[in-house]
């Protein structure tokens, strides 16, 4: 192989086998060196490129080399002409976008859960922080220049495109991807464009959003205005589809996604500011602030009780991933579920005997609302009888006036007028203010009663104990039925072999890797934001619901799917796929462990409930009685008006 000279080290190296090839050049191994590789440009670099590479070699540091495939020396031919450079060798890593969505993640990172995703996000932010602290700008931020390892560490590649300045001389980054480009730069040429770290921070936020929000682009949403709203236009117009101002921007997030605030107020605020118009003035969240926020998020994660492979912020009342999986029928994390093999089996019969031995707190005491009410001593209520007497007398006077008016008696008209006047005087009347005050008092007393009654139901009612016992009994029933469930699920896999083979075959054809007319990076990202990534995901009715996809594009995608589907051949002799069986076994094992845990904790949980209910009854009954008295008094005062 060809020999080159390191211009700084003044030593010769010999190229080994080709490792990779790109648009600008070829990457080779170096004979005798396992930690470095050589990049040779296909076209001899001009003087400006050489000066930039020299400047990059000058700033190389151990910190940079840990997070980037950074040039460490230039390579020259025997005549002294520079043809490339050497950089650290990157091994056992995958493109960051393969961690984005559940489908690609299941293939490349089958054990990755949300904790791993957050950890990777924090490492990306750390890498950006190192670049910016060295006075550098990535410029062309996109998911193609980031690699991630199985341990969650990340490395930046294609660093020779970064923007670097030496004094008054700035070597710009002349390329960019619109889907990651800051709004204020849209419509401008990248050539000789001077960029700032704040522009990188927009791209960083887009990368992090893709990872944290299940592969969705932050500006891919449903537009309520007229016309099409492609992602590039939405970016340029600051139409963040998940932001607090999304409604005023005519945007709404796609179905099957989580709200922005799901991951906590701090994360939500960082994204909202990064994608806002005000952030373009140089104030977008810096990389270190993302590191801090992501570390807090990682520390806040707890395990879901229903699905052990789910982790979510402990501030949430329920697992958001369970809700998304129920809505989309797609497993988001943990395709290879790790279970604790140390727990073993439980003696269901013995455990159940200890559970039913826990005494019930007893029947609920009779509530004040269920027994006769007596007016508390010292309380006087207005008489409703006087009100009824006055109403009766007024009615009699009116009737007497009518009789006098129709009867042939002397001065009948005078008697009629006198009767009506007297009836008007006697009729009980109450001002609207006084009646409103009585209604408000009654409403407040009723609200107080309902609140105390609700607290009684939660803390002192036998129903809480009974409900818990039913839940434990359900866990026992399901645990005893586990062998039958496994047989039913395996039979379903057997019955669905052809469908599963077809799905797995079609999943091999990814939209992002295909050449489909009219489907470029923007529309590919929009499709992914609606959960459509492979030929298997394509459904004409679903695609028509996506903004910007009319009859023509829908027909094109459906035809592309059918073209691949026509080549599928069902193999009846092929057994159920081993991965499906393993996934089923692990899922059932995780369920078994959760059910066993519920049974093990049953006796202690029931005993605790028993003690809490017995203690709560004497504490809450006086509050109930007082609230009921107040309600009955307020009711009587209202009815007496």
Kindly state the tokens that stand for 193.
């464009």
H or E element that contains 84? strand 82-88
Burial of 403 by CB count in 10 Å (0-12 exposed, 13-18 middle, 19+ buried)?
middle
CB–CB of 193/517 below 8 Å? no
Whether the Cβ atoms of residue 50 and residue 44 lie closer than 8 Å to each other: no
Q: Where are the alpha helices (DSSP H) in 330-461?
A: 348-356, 384-406, 412-426, 432-459
Q: Which residues are catalytic?
A: 140
- Residue 233, C-beta contacts closer than 8 angstroms, at least 6 positions apart: none
pLDDT of residue 412: 56
- Average pLDDT by stretches of 10, the chain with 641 residues: 89 92 89 93 93 94 95 94 94 91 87 94 97 96 93 94 88 94 95 95 98 95 91 96 95 94 96 96 96 97 86 93 87 59 66 90 91 79 59 65 60 62 59 77 92 92 92 94 94 94 94 93 92 94 90 95 95 90 83 87 92 93 92 82 63
Place of tokens 């093999």: 341
CB 7 within 8 A of CB 82: yes
Q: What is the pTM of this model?
A: 0.73
Helix (H) and strand (E) counts for the chain?
20, 15
**How far apart are alpha carbons 636 and 385 in whole angstroms?**
12
Q: What is the pLDDT of residue 338?
A: 41
DSSP element (H, E) containing 6 = strand 3-6
- Which segments of 149-238 are extended strands (E)? 154-156, 164-166, 169-171, 222-223
163 Cβ contact list (under 8 Å, min separation 6) = 136, 137, 138, 139, 170, 171, 172, 173, 194, 195
Residue 490 Cα to chain centre, angstroms: 32
State in words which class domain 1-91 has.
Answer: alpha beta
Residue length, the chain?
A: 641
| Burial class of 215 by CB neighbour count within 10 A (0 to 12, 13 to 18, 19+) | buried
d(CA 144, CA 161): 13
Fold exhibited by the domain 92-338: Transferase(Phosphotransferase); domain 1 (1.10.510)
């Amino acid at each position: 192989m060809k020999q080159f000279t390191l211009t700084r080290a003044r030593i010769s190296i010999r190229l080994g086998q080709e490792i990779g090839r790109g648009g600008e050049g070829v990457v080779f191994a170096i004979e005798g060196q396992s930690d470095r590789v050589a990049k040779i440009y296909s076209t001899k670099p001009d003087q400006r490129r050489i000066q930039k590479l020299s400047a990059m070699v000058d700033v190389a540091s151990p910190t940079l080399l840990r997070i980037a495939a950074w040039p460490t020396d230039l390579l020259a031919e025997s005549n002294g002409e520079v043809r490339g450079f050497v950089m650290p060798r990157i091994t056992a890593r995958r493109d960051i976008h393969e961690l984005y969505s559940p489908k690609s993640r299941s293939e490349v990172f089958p054990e990755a859960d949300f904790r791993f995703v957050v950890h990777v996000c924090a490492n990306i932010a750390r890498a950006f922080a190192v670049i910016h602290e060295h006075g550098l700008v990535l410029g062309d931020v996109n998911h193609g220049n980031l690699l991630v390892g199985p341990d969650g560490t990340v490395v930046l590649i294609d660093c020779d495109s970064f923007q670097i300045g030496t004094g008054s001389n700035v070597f710009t980054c002349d390329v960019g991807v619109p889907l990651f480009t800051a709004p204020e730069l849209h419509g401008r040429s990248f050539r000789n464009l001077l960029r700032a770290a704040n522009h990188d921070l927009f791209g960083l936020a887009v990368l992090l959003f893709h990872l944290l929000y299940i592969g969705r682009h932050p500006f891919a949403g449903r537009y309520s205005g007229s016309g099409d709203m492609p992602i590039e236009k939405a970016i340029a117009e600051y139409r963040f589809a998940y932001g607090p101002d999304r409604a005023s921007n005519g945007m709404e997030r796609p179905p099957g996604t989580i709200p922005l605030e799901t991951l906590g107020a701090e994360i939500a605020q960082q994204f909202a500011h990064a994608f806002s118009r005000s952030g373009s003035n140089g104030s977008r969240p810096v990389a270190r602030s993302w590191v801090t926020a992501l570390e807090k998020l990682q520390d806040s994660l707890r395990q879901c009780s229903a699905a052990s492979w789910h982790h979510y912020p402990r501030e949430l009342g329920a697992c958001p991933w369970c809700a998304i999986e129920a809505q989309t029928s797609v497993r988001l994390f943990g395709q290879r579920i790790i279970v604790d093999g140390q727990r073993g089996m439980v003696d269901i019969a013995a455990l159940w005997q200890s559970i039913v031995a826990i005494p019930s707190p007893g029947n609920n005491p009779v509530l004040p609302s269920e027994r006769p009410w007596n007016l508390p001593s010292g309380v006087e209520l207005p008489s409703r009888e006087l009100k009824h007497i006055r109403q009766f007398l007024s009615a009699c006077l009116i009737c007497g006036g009518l009789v006098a008016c129709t009867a042939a008696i002397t001065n009948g008209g005078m008697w009629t007028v006198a009767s009506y006047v007297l009836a008007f005087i006697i009729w009980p009347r109450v001002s609207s203010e006084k009646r409103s005050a009585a209604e408000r008092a009654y409403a407040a007393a009723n609200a107080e009663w309902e609140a105390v009654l609700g607290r009684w139901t939660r803390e002192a009612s036998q129903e809480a104990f009974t409900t818990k016992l039913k839940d434990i009994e359900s866990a026992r029933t399901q645990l005893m039925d586990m062998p039958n469930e496994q047989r039913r699920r395996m039979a379903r896999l057997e019955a669905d072999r052809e469908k599963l083979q077809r799905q797995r075959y079609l999943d091999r054809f990814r939209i992002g890797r295909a050449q489909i007319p009219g489907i470029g990076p923007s529309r590919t990202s929009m499709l992914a934001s609606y959960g459509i990534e492979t030929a298997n995901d394509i459904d004409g009715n679903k695609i028509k619901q996506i903004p910007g996809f009319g009859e023509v594009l829908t027909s094109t995608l459906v035809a592309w799917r059918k073209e691949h589907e026509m080549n599928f051949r069902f193999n009846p002799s092929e057994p159920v796929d081993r991965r499906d069986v393993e996934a089923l076994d692990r899922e059932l094992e995780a369920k078994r462990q959760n059910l066993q845990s519920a049974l093990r904790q049953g006796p202690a949980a029931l005993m605790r409930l028993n003690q809490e209910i017995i203690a709560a009854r004497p504490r809450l009954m006086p509050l109930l009685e007082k609230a009921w008295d107040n309600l009955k008094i307020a009711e009587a005062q209202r009815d007496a008006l």
